[in-house]
Structure 1
Amino acid sequence: MAVSTDTIPESSAAGPAKTDAVQPRIVPVRRTGQWAAAVAVLLLLAGAVSSVVRNDAFQWDVVGDYFTSASVLRGLGLTLWLTAVVMVLGFVLGTLLAVMRLSANPVLRNVSWGYIWLLRSTPILVQLLFWFNIGALYPQILGVKTVNLLSPVTIAIIGLTLHEAAYAAEVVRGGILSVERGQIEAAESLGLGRLRRLRRIVLPQAMRSIVPPAGNMLIGTLKGTSIVSVIAVQDLLYSVQLVYHRTYQVVPLLLVATIWYVVVTSLLSVGQHYVERYYARGTAGAR
């Protein structure tokens, strides 16, 4: 039977129709609100910076004159030295307290807990004033007068170190607890002693958890040393106080101390970043 081609649809006679898919047009999201907020924040920031720079009351010329003066640099040097000594001694004592806190001996564990509880429960200013007046309780220690034995700098080292050790103990304890129990059990199976396990196995792995809070403690200690000015230790803050008590230029001298604190803490933050990256090698936190 013949089939008329007139009855066949044109599309069928011409073969299969071409069905090219229409690609959707990608329209970027308009972030109008975010851009408006960013512009507003930048304008406010620019206005604040301009008001500080152009305000004659800040006396920037006086800031420049005293920024590198001999008395300020001596105070800065004492602040840095005091920070380093307190951090080293604080973490040495804090590590000992952390090991005691994790000990199976109930006496050591409870003594460590009591020390940490007491030192963290009292303000550092109260502790410093207590040590400053220790001569009223113990006029002599081993036949030596405490007035001659404990200078203001020595009192500052003792008070700050004992205070920092309480916080360092918790930082170190948290780092030790972050190490997997299997690592310690493997070291025990190899016959390693407790101290060697702590030094060769536990602490190197715990450093990944210890370094970030330790870096924050270092910066906090640097700024916290300013409190020793109440016991006449000539740190950075006390040095500028001596100057503005004489010249009555309070604001520019406080700016001198503020800028130095910002500079030093910024440098410490950069160093903390590289130390964290070093101990984070081989982990997801390395970058």
Structure 2
Amino acid sequence: MTTSVDKVPEGPGPSGTASPHHPIRAVPVRHYGRWVSAVVVVGVLAALGAAFAGGKITWSTTREFLFNADIMAGAGNTLFISVASMVLGLVLGVTAAVMRMSGNPVMSGVAWLYIWIFRGTPVIVQLLIWWNLALVFPTMFGQDTNKVITPLVAALLGLGINEGAYMAEIVRAGIQSVDEGQTEASHALGMSKGQTMRRIVLPQAMRVIVPPTGNEFINMLKTSSLAFVVTYPEVMLKVQDVYTNNLAVMELLFVACFWYLVLTTVFSIGQFYLERRYARGSSRNLPPTPLQKIKANMFSLRTPGGAL
């Protein structure tokens, strides 16, 4: 806490003589710049709000389609494809991470090639390749490829396989964060490599894996909007169908923003509590929950040191 010091005039000491020591009274220094910057920020936000409120946007149209049945169905499809793609990405990521760390050069090389290709090319390109796979393979499993690669399958493969490449590096970093002594001790107890990985390494690596995995899932919810290029009926495609007919482009885009914010907010809260759970074994003081933060700061603008 930054303070100023006020000296109290000398007075006679207990024995009637002047005391050589001066009592000090700490006075908090007022940080007026903080208040000025806060006013400026609030003013800018108010100006932006007024600009949107007074713009050529028919907010009644936004409210009308906010809970439209088709758009809500699209939001449900967005959630489904995001979860399904993330599960596929996790499976592929764990597999590729273990292969990448393998002593077998073929396994390690294949995993490296997979990560290099799918991390190095745009998701939208990968989606279009899966969607047009019939141009390369006219038939698959004895059937017309166009019947096998449906919009759902194309979206799942495009998003899930791409996510697996990112998850592979996240899982590998988590595994390498576990001390090698843990592995040596488990081998000394007679555990196989597979048992060591499942029972010793991965449970401890979860503390490192969970936070970036949560961020990847939040990103997946937004990246799923690219599935409209393969005509998968997620929320963005539903919104496009509506504004193509009524030409209320901005109004419907705000509807899409609303649903993406709802989904990401819900899962961000879930991610926080999941991270908090895995932090119990490594942190003496768990981070405060959002409700605890709100309660602590609702009526106070004081800094952690106590200064205004």
Q: TM-score, normalised by structure 2?
A: 0.85
**Residue of structure 1 equivalent to 2:47:** 47
- Counterpart Cα distance in 2 of 1:230 and 1:29: 58
- Counterpart Cα distance in 1 of 2:99 and 2:33: 55
| Deviates further, 28-37 or 127-136 | 28-37
Q: Quick one: which amino acid aligns to residue 103 of structure 2?
A: A
**Residue of structure 1 equivalent to 2:186:** 187
Tell me if 1:27 matches 2:50: no
Structure 2 gaps of 5+ residues are 1-14, 288-308
Deviation for aligned residue 1:257: 0.3
- Counterpart Cα distance in 2 of 1:65 and 1:87: 32
CA-to-partner distance for each residue in 1:17-49, whole Å, 9 max, x for gaps? 362732123232221222211111112112222
Tell me if 1:64 matches 2:91: no
User: What SS does structure 2 have at the residue aligned with 1:58?
Assistant: coil
Deviation for aligned residue 1:258: 0.5
Tell me if 1:213 matches 2:212: yes
User: What SS does structure 2 have at the residue aligned with 1:26?
Assistant: strand
- Between Structure 1 and Structure 2, the one with more helix by share is 1
**Residue of structure 2 equivalent to 1:73:** 72
Structure 1 gaps of 5+ residues are 1-14
The two structures, once aligned, show a CA RMSD in angstroms of 1.5
Q: TM-score, normalised by structure 1?
A: 0.91
**Residue of structure 2 equivalent to 1:167:** 166
- Counterpart Cα distance in 2 of 1:161 and 1:150: 14
**Residue of structure 2 equivalent to 1:8:** none
CA-to-partner distance for each residue in 1:169-222, whole Å, 9 max, x for gaps? 001101101111111111111111112111111111111111111011001100
Deviation for aligned residue 1:243: 0.5
Matches within 5 A, 1:1-287: 17=17, 19=19, 21-52=21-52, 54-55=53-54, 57-284=56-283, 286-287=286-287
- Counterpart Cα distance in 2 of 1:196 and 1:282: 22
- Counterpart Cα distance in 2 of 1:246 and 1:286: 51
- Counterpart Cα distance in 2 of 1:101 and 1:28: 57
| Deviates further, 209-218 or 27-36 | 27-36
Give aligned-pair identity as a percent.
42
CA-to-partner distance for each residue in 1:124-152, whole Å, 9 max, x for gaps? 11111111111011101232110111111
